[in-house]
Amino acid sequence: MIKPHGSDTLTPLYVENEATRKQLEKEAESLPSIIVNSAAASNAVMLGAGYFTPLKGFMTAADAISVADKMQTSNGLFWPTPVLNLVPDASVIGDAKRIALRDPNVEGNPVLAIQDIESIEELSDTQVANITDKVYRTTDPDHIGASTFMSLGKFAISGPIQVLNYSYFSEEFKGTFKTAGEIRDEIAERGWNTVVGFQTRNPMHRAHEELCKMAQEAVNADGILIHMLLGKLKKGDIPAPVRDAAIRKMVEVYFPPNSVMVTGYGFDMLYAGPREGVLHALFRQNCGCTHFIIGRDHAGVGDYYGAFDAQNIFDDEVPAGAIDIEIFRADHTAYSKKLNKVVMMRDAPDHTKEDFVLLSGTKVREMLAAGEDLPKEFARPEVAKILMEYYQSIN
């Protein structure tokens, strides 16, 4: 199986030993504590679950600036986005060497992790703006990812962490949320060697289904990992339980047995386009995938990125040998009326826009809310039924 990034083995930071975990939970009661923001909480979950291998905790200001500038930490580890615990005010910490990190996303704000304090550094406005501009390619406050990052606070608390739970993900998404180690174990149990990873924050329509099958055939993969983002999305995105049900129904009906794993991971979407595309590739390498699909406008929002910027970054900015996973580069995929099948648009140069079955997200939502059937060329009826029930329930 493919090795994790920067390490021979995964380095999950979740405290597996129950007695040790109980002891740390007791210790946390006497420690200064902060309620972290949702971004830092999801970083802690990803560190705990091994997706951020080989990181040991939250980055220093120097590491974050280095990562933003040249996609590597101060000691030379390739990494595409800063992993920070930012707060607006760190005065509650005083001179403490350890603090409890409390979960903003669970009622009662239970302790999520304990962090050793390596440093507390105040970033300047210029440094925050520079990091934002390098990672998101904009400081426009209308960019949801950039504006979120710039609002988190300027005090960076760095240091290793010990993770005590997986926030709401393990309870709300039982059977779907999996750690990187659990996915690796299941890949091994299934006897897969070559595995294609597919990232989604949306339900999967016919085009997505066929894209996974195209990639599997192209690289002769044993299986496909459909990996859903379960964390915070933007307003209007379909809730994870609905996506989960729709995707599982599609796999059950339209994929051969033992060809697909449907799982999810606990991370808040950054909407950082190309940089996030690289981060998503690292996640899948740490899961055990050998290939990862990156399509049109991967991890993008609005018109901030070019259609294929998230593919081009692997040629233009990712150094050779920096990661081991291979990228499967996909074009926009749609049903061809001429060929009576789903194709990548680049493979049909003689087509016009009218030759494809194309629906905007707005049109799809309007049709589903009105109880109108989606074209069978666009969506499987079993999937459309689940989505229609959701949209009609909120109207």
> Model's pTM, two decimal places?
0.95
User: Which pLDDT tens digits describe the chain residue by residue (395 residues)?
Assistant: 899 999 999 999 999 999 999 999 999 999 999 999 999 999 999 999 999 999 999 999 999 999 999 999 999 999 999 999 999 999 999 999 999 999 999 999 999 999 999 999 999 999 999 999 999 999 999 999 999 999 999 999 999 999 999 999 999 999 999 999 999 999 999 999 999 999 998 889 999 999 999 999 999 999 999 999 998 766 777 888 899 999 999 999 999 999 999 999 999 999 999 999 999 999 999 999 999 999 999 999 999 999 999 999 999 999 999 999 999 999 989 999 999 999 999 999 999 999 999 888 778 888 888 899 999 999 999 999 999 999 888 87
Three-class secondary structure of residue 335 per DSSP: strand
Q: Is residue 129 part of a domain?
A: yes
Residues 91, 224, single domain; the answer is no
Residues 25, 157, single domain; the answer is yes
CATH number, position 195: 3.40.50.620
Amino acid at 150: M
Please write the tens of the pLDDT for every residue from 184-207.
Answer: 999 999 999 999 999 998 889 999
Q: Is residue 374 part of a domain?
A: no
Which of 332, 361, 385 is where one domain is finished?
Answer: 332
Q: Is residue 382 part of a domain?
A: no
Buried b (16+ CB within 10 A) or exposed e, 238-275: bebebbbbbbbbbbeebbeeebbbbbbbbbbbbbbbbb
Please write the tens of the pLDDT for every residue from 325-381.
Answer: 999 999 989 999 999 999 999 999 999 999 999 888 778 888 888 899 999 999 999
Domain total of the chain: 2
Q: Is residue 65 part of a domain?
A: yes
d(CA 69, CA 78): 12
Active site residues: 201-202
Q: Is residue 12 part of a domain?
A: no
Residues 129, 192, single domain; the answer is no
10 Å CB burial of residue 208 (0-12, 13-18, 19+) is buried
Residues 114, 93, single domain; the answer is yes
Residues 220, 110, single domain; the answer is no
Q: Are strands 86-87 and 155-163 parallel, antiparallel or unpaired?
A: antiparallel
Alpha-carbon distances of 295 from 120, 245, 308, 333, rounded to whole Å: 39, 23, 7, 9
Q: Is residue 199 part of a domain?
A: yes
Expressed as residue numbers, the domain containing 44 is: 18-167
Q: What is the CA radius of gyration of the chain?
A: 21
Residues 142, 238, single domain; the answer is no
Amino acid at 296: R
Which of 309, 332, 355 is where one domain is finished?
Answer: 332
Q: In the prediction, which pLDDT does 233 show?
A: 67
Which of 332, 364, 382 is where one domain is finished?
Answer: 332
Amino acid at 212: C
Residues 147, 186, single domain; the answer is no
Residues 86, 33, single domain; the answer is yes
Residues 189, 72, single domain; the answer is no
Residues 186, 95, single domain; the answer is no
Q: Is residue 43 part of a domain?
A: yes
Handedness of CA 328, 334, 337, 342 (dihedral sign): positive
CATH number, position 52: 3.10.400.10
Residues 308, 281, single domain; the answer is yes
Residues 111, 197, single domain; the answer is no
Q: Is residue 315 part of a domain?
A: yes
